[in-house]
Amino acid sequence: MPKKSNYIVPIAVFLIIFLLIHIRNQKKNLGCDFRGIVQDVIYNSDSVKVTIKDHVYVLDDGYNFQHLIQKGDFLIKRRGSTIYRLVKYEHPKVITFDN
């Protein structure tokens, strides 16, 4: 019968790897800096990709954008911030997404 302490090491390794991946993704998200008109938007099951000024950005999957981002809208994300601001094109209003 295996000892319970034999399970601690694999669980600890898994948690450390998960934490490192999460930190890397957070740094990548914090490093993004863009503002402009959404030229294209693609909603996948695990991510949202927007094209702004001919650059494709993968938005953080921790946000619930609720399919509100549409082509023609204005999207702002500043470096060091976790906030996305969306200015709707058809009915101008600002929607803020914060994690």
Q: 33-83 pLDDT, tens per residue?
A: 899 999 999 998 888 999 999 999 988 777 889 999 999 999 999 988 889
- In sequence order, the 6+-apart residues with CB closer than 8 A to the CB of 55 are 34
pLDDT of residue 4: 62
pLDDT of residue 28: 61
Residues 36/45, Cβ–Cβ less than 8 Å:
no
Residue 69's domain comprises: 4-98
pLDDT of residue 82: 85
pLDDT of residue 49: 93
| Both structure tokens of 27 | 């740094």
pLDDT of residue 20: 77
Number of domains in the chain: 1
- 20 versus 3: which is more confidently predicted? 20
